[in-house]
């Protein structure tokens, strides 16, 4: 079969499931808030999320980005302080650090999870380091054990950037309960969404109170950052939360299917499992493309051909240090390789597809591989 | 159910959807400016404007008597707040006082429109390119300013607005509010970032009811305007002229007048002191040695009544 990218018929033309999903419960929530704009939907959602994650303190906010910024501010981190983060993530993680005047320091990622490498984190610690910002990339928790131990040893904060990780657990415990605090995003593409929103969780009562003061407008010693969640958005989250656990289970089943069908191929592979990751939130499903087995075809060209077959695959993040305005030094060879030659992910709603939708992913990848020579010659 | 909300839910509640884009156009037309950007709060709009002015590491002049949001946001944007006195008659930043504090490190001058500020004098003193107007529950026009920031609505309908004429500046403000992505890019994940930016975006839902929010603002402002010529219980009391939604600002022109507040309460008004002086607060540097005569006077001489 001729490749679609070379003018052939694509594996599929049908779109993958529409996202977000909503029904009359979202309508009812919006109607409630419209009729009573001051209705406290936020507290109701916070209570649900606290129970869901098993964490005592939850603060719904305007966005995941502002959630990270609020945590850093509440911890008193600011000008001249260093915060270690991975460069293989969305710009928001970096921007939150820069916005409070602190210095972002890049630590490399691990090749078998794309999450921050604890050993490299430890190498990057200086007397100015105040926090580690550990991104759970794609929804898979970063190594909570190793990072927690490093944070404790050096008396620095461990903040989980769990923007993509609602529903993720490590050793059976929600990512929300690990470290000093965690920041989640409820932006439109996320697995638990309200369009624009975020959530902060912590087990630290004092930190939660400081966060509450800041979000409420500040006091004599804290500036005010009035970044509470909008009432409509909180109402939407209250509706979305009812169907979230089932959607998470479905995503995980889809991921298991893809794992089983991609692993034997050899030229691509799923991310290896880790028994400590007891729930991967699978906001993104990563596929590792092994360029060395593509007979001279690059990862970018391979992905382009898969996309032409109707599959929503992308080449993933560019490293943060490739962004204009990001000038911090970096020595992160794994990130360089993953971002340039290996990483790819399926767009978030793909895992909510039917078994046929998922089979098309595998069929498309196989088709492209079977036509590598034709692809290389063009 | 509200039709606009239902349509938004059914068709587009994603990042920077049609409601927020159309809302920005509507506001820009109303204000007679080239660009208006909607944000999740008035503070977010001010932050976007200050970051668009690249104030980090520089000084920003603001009145000692104003909404605390101004000073909070100056610090958020990494700048140093420099306080100046107000003009007691208008309740707004005094051009003469502001001029005293302008240095080579001044990147912006903020003026809250409590009453009608003397923007011509402020633009002359500060330079139009540095002057930013701030108003809550009112949309005064701002030809003399580089940018204006507004907060309208309340509760779930609260929206921040950043309004500017200059397209290059709008692009910087837009990037500051949308993760560094420029105005022309939309929200696509594949877009290359041009600056460092946060997420100050507004939800589509409050934008869906923006027309209603504006209508309520106009209705409430008209009700306030009717009260401007009211006869107040104390002969030394004056309304400060800026119709705002739901509240009216009054000032007492007497010295140490004790009767105004009581008289208003007796008439059944809910009375509050709008602000306390910011320059003394430790969080803003605690410059208590500064003597801002009009600020001190406003602390006891200004009242806000709810209509």
Q: Is the pLDDT of residue A358 over 90?
A: yes
Q: Is the peptide bond before A20 cis (omega within 30 degrees of 0)?
A: yes
For residues A86 and A104, give the distance between their C-alpha atoms in angstroms, rounded to a whole number.
9
Q: Tell me the chain B residues in contact with residue A231 when contact means C-beta distances shorter than 8 Å.
A: 155-156
A207: left (phi over 0), alpha (psi -120 to 50) or beta: alpha
The Cα of A276 is separated from the nearest Cα of chain B by a number of Å equal to 31
The secondary element (H helix, E strand) that includes residue B151 is: strand B147-152
For residues B126 and B141, give the distance between their C-alpha atoms in angstroms, rounded to a whole number.
18
The Cα of A1 is separated from the nearest Cα of chain B by a number of Å equal to 30
pLDDT given for residue B191 in this prediction: 57
Span B29-46, average pLDDT = 97
Q: Are the beta carbons of B45 and B150 closer than 8 angstroms?
A: yes
In this structure, what token pair is assigned to residue A330?
Answer: 């970096």
pLDDT given for residue B248 in this prediction: 86
For residues A198 and A163, give the distance between their C-alpha atoms in angstroms, rounded to a whole number.
8
Span B36-53, average pLDDT = 98
pLDDT given for residue A136 in this prediction: 98
Q: Considering only CA atoms, which of A38, A72, A4 is closest in space to residue A310?
A: A4
Under the banding of pLDDT at 50, 70 and 90, the label for residue B85 is very high
Say which DSSP state B105 is in.
T
What is the Cα B133 distance to its own chain's centre? 6
For residues B104 and A368, give the distance between their C-alpha atoms in angstroms, rounded to a whole number.
61
pLDDT per residue as tens digits for the range A56-70: 999 999 999 999 999
Of A27, A189, A195, the CB nearest to B203: A195
In this structure, what token pair is assigned to residue B95?
Answer: 């051009």
Length of chain A (residues):
378
When scoring A93, A95, A184 by the number of chain B Cβ atoms within 10 A, the one with the most, hence best to mutate, is A95
Does residue A276 share a domain with residue A220? Answer: no
- Residue ranges of domains in chain B: 3-211, 214-306
pLDDT given for residue A156 in this prediction: 98
Beta bridge partners of A270: A287
Does residue A50 share a domain with residue A64? Answer: yes
For residues A324 and A319, give the distance between their C-alpha atoms in angstroms, rounded to a whole number.
11
Under the banding of pLDDT at 50, 70 and 90, the label for residue A112 is very high
Residue carrying the six token digits 């939907």: A41
pLDDT given for residue B101 in this prediction: 95
The Cα of B124 is separated from the nearest Cα of chain A by a number of Å equal to 31
The Cα of A76 is separated from the nearest Cα of chain B by a number of Å equal to 13
What are B129-134's contacts with CB under 8 Å, separation 24+?
B130/B53, B130/B106, B132/B46, B132/B49, B132/B50, B132/B53, B132/B108, B134/B42, B134/B46, B134/B66, B134/B67, B134/B69, B134/B70, B134/B110
pLDDT per residue as tens digits for the range A294-345: 999 999 999 999 999 999 999 999 999 999 889 999 999 999 999 999 999 9
- CB contact (8 A) between residue A64 and residue B199: yes
pLDDT given for residue B190 in this prediction: 53
Q: Considering only CA atoms, which of B299, B246, B277 is closest in space to residue B136?
A: B246
- CB contact (8 A) between residue A30 and residue B2: yes
Q: Are the beta carbons of A283 and A164 closer than 8 angstroms?
A: yes
| Cβ atoms < 10 Å from Cβ of A56 | 13
Using a pLDDT cut of 70, give the percent of chain B over it.
Answer: 95
Residue B146: exposure state from Cβ atoms within 10 A (0-12, 13-18, ≥19): buried
Q: What chain B residue is nearest to A347 in terms of C-alpha separation?
A: B189
Q: Are the beta carbons of A60 and A42 closer than 8 angstroms?
A: yes
For residues B200 and B193, give the distance between their C-alpha atoms in angstroms, rounded to a whole number.
15
CATH of B3-211, one of 3.20.80.10, 3.10.110.10, 3.30.390.50, 3.40.640.10: 3.40.640.10
- CB contact (8 A) between residue B155 and residue A231: yes
pLDDT per residue as tens digits for the range B240-258: 877 677 788 899 988 777 7
pLDDT per residue as tens digits for the range A182-207: 999 999 999 999 999 999 999 999 99
Structural domain including A28 reads 24-240
Q: Tell me the chain B residues in contact with residue A236 when contact means C-beta distances shorter than 8 Å.
A: 13, 205
Using a pLDDT cut of 70, give the percent of chain A over it.
Answer: 100
The secondary element (H helix, E strand) that includes residue B101 is: helix B95-101
Q: Tell me the chain A residues in contact with residue B281 when contact means C-beta distances shorter than 8 Å.
A: 220
Residue that terminates a domain, selected from A206, A240, A274:
A240
- B3-211 and B214-306: identical CATH topology: no
Residue carrying the six token digits 């502002």: A66
Does residue A274 share a domain with residue A193? Answer: no
Does residue A32 share a domain with residue A9? Answer: no
Mean residue pLDDT across chain A: 97
Q: Considering only CA atoms, which of B249, B231, B253 is closest in space to residue B241?
A: B249
Angle at B133 between CA B128 and CA B136, to 5 degrees: 170
For residues B45 and B39, give the distance between their C-alpha atoms in angstroms, rounded to a whole number.
6
Angle at B132 between CA B210 and CA B33, to 5 degrees: 50
The Cα-based distances of A351 to A100, A188, A339, B167 in angstroms read: 36, 16, 22, 41
Under the banding of pLDDT at 50, 70 and 90, the label for residue B234 is confident
Does residue A326 share a domain with residue A282? Answer: yes
Does residue A211 share a domain with residue A70? Answer: yes
Does residue A249 share a domain with residue A234? Answer: no
Q: Strand, helix or coil at A161?
A: strand
- CB contact (8 A) between residue A62 and residue B44: yes
pLDDT per residue as tens digits for the range A243-271: 999 999 999 999 999 999 999 999 999 99
The Cα of B72 is separated from the nearest Cα of chain A by a number of Å equal to 5
In this structure, what token pair is assigned to residue A359?
Answer: 């089979």
B191 Cβ under 8 Å from any chain A Cβ:
no
Under the banding of pLDDT at 50, 70 and 90, the label for residue A1 is confident
Looking at this predicted complex, what is its ipTM?
0.95
Q: Tell me the chain A residues in contact with residue B188 when contact means C-beta distances shorter than 8 Å.
A: none
Span B35-44, average pLDDT = 98
CATH code for the domain in which residue A283 is found: 3.90.1150.10
Q: Is the pLDDT of residue A370 over 90?
A: yes
- CB contact (8 A) between residue A101 and residue B56: yes
What is the Cα A284 distance to its own chain's centre? 7
Does residue A203 share a domain with residue A129? Answer: yes
Evaluate whether the domain defined by B214-306 bears CATH number 3.90.1150.10: yes
Strands (E) in chain B, as ranges, are 35-39, 59-63, 80-84, 86-87, 92-93, 106-112, 131-136, 147-152, 159-164, 237-239, 247-252, 270-272, 302-306
Mean residue pLDDT across chain B: 91
The Cα of A283 is separated from the nearest Cα of chain B by a number of Å equal to 15
Choose between B230 and B157: higher pLDDT: B157
Beta bridge partners of A198: A61, A185
Q: How many domains does chain A have?
A: 2
Span A139-148, average pLDDT = 98
Q: What chain B residue is nearest to A188 in terms of C-alpha separation?
A: B14
Of B76, B200, B203, the CB nearest to A223: B76
pLDDT per residue as tens digits for the range A4-58: 999 999 999 999 999 999 999 999 999 999 999 888 999 999 999 999 999 999 9
Q: Are the beta carbons of B66 and B270 closer than 8 angstroms?
A: no
pLDDT per residue as tens digits for the range B176-226: 999 998 886 555 555 567 788 999 999 999 999 999 999 999 998 888 888
CATH code for the domain in which residue A47 is found: 3.40.640.10
């Amino acid at each position: 079969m001729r490749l679609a990218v070379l003018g052939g018929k694509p594996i599929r033309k049908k779109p993958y499931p529409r996202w977000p999903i909503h029904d009359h419960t979202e309508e009812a929530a919006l109607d409630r808030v419209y009729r009573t704009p001051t209705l406290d939907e936020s507290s109701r959602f916070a209570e649900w999320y606290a129970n869901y994650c098993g964490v005592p303190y939850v603060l719904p906010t305007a966005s995941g980005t502002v959630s990270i910024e609020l945590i850093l501010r509440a911890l008193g981190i600011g000008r001249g302080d260093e915060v270690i983060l991975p460069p293989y993530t969305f710009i928001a993680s970096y921007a939150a650090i820069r916005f409070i005047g602190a210095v972002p320091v890049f630590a490399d990622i691990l090749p078998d999870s794309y999450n921050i490498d604890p050993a490299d984190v430890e190498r990057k610690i200086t007397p100015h380091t105040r926090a580690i910002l550990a991104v759970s990339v794609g929804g898979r928790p970063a190594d909570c054990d190793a990072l927690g131990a490093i944070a404790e040893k050096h008396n620095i904060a461990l903040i989980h950037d769990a923007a993509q990780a609602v529903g993720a657990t490590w050793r059976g415990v929600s990512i929300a309960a690990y470290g000093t605090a965690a920041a989640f995003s409820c932006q439109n593409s996320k697995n638990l969404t309200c369009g624009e929103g975020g959530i902060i969780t912590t087990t630290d009562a004092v930190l939660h109170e400081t966060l509450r003061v800041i979000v409420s407008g500040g006091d004599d010693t804290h500036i005010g950052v009035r970044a509470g969640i909008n009432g409509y958005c909180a109402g939407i989250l209250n509706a979305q939360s009812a169907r979230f656990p089932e959607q998470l289970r479905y995503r995980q089943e889809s991921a298991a299917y893809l794992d089983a069908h991609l692993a034997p191929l050899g030229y691509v592979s799923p991310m290896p499992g880790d028994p400590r990751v007891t729930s991967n939130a699978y906001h993104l499903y990563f596929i590792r493309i092994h360029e060395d087995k593509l007979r001279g075809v690059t990862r970018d060209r391979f992905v382009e051909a898969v996309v032409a077959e109707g599959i929503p695959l992308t080449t993933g993040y560019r490293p943060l240090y490739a962004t204009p305005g990001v000038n911090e030094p970096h020595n992160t060879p794994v990130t360089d390789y993953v971002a340039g030659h290996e990483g790819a992910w399926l767009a978030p709603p793909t895992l909510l597809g039917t078994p046929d939708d998922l089979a098309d992913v595998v069929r498309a990848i196989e088709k492209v591989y079977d036509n590598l020579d034709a692809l290389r010659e063009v | 159910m509200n039709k606009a909300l239902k349509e938004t839910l059914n068709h587009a509640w994603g990042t920077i959807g049609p409601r927020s884009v159309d809302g920005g156009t509507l506001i820009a037309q109303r204000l007679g400016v080239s660009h208006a950007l909607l944000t999740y709060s008035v503070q977010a709009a001010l932050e976007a404007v200050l970051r668009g002015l690249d104030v980090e590491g520089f000084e920003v002049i603001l009145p000692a008597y104003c909404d605390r949001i101004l000073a909070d946001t100056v610090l958020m944007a990494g700048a140093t707040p420099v306080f100046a006195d107000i003009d007691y008659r208008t309740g707004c930043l005094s051009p003469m006082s502001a001029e005293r504090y302008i240095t080579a490190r001044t990147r912006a001058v903020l003026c809250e429109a409590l009453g009608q500020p003397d923007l011509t004098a402020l633009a002359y003193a500060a330079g139009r390119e540095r002057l930013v107007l701030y108003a809550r529950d009112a949309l005064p026009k701002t030809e003399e300013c580089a940018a204006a920031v507004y907060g309208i609505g309340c509760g779930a309908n609260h929206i921040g607005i950043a309004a500017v004429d200059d397209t290059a500046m709008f692009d910087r403000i837009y990037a500051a509010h949308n993760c560094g992505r420029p105005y022309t890019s939309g929200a696509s994940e594949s877009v290359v970032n041009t600056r460092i930016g946060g997420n100050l975006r507004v939800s589509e839902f409050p934008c869906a009811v923006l027309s209603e929010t504006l209508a309520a603002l106009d209705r409430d402002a008209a009700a306030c305007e009717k009260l401007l010529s009211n006869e107040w219980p104390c002969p030394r009391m004056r309304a400060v002229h800026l119709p705002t939604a739901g509240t009216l600002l009054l000032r007492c022109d007497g010295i140490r007048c004790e009767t105004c507040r009581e008289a208003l309460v007796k008439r059944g008004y809910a009375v509050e002191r709008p602000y306390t002086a910011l320059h003394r607060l430790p969080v803003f540097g605690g410059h208590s040695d500064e003597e801002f005569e009009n600020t001190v006077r406003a602390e006891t001489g200004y009242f806000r009544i709810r209509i």
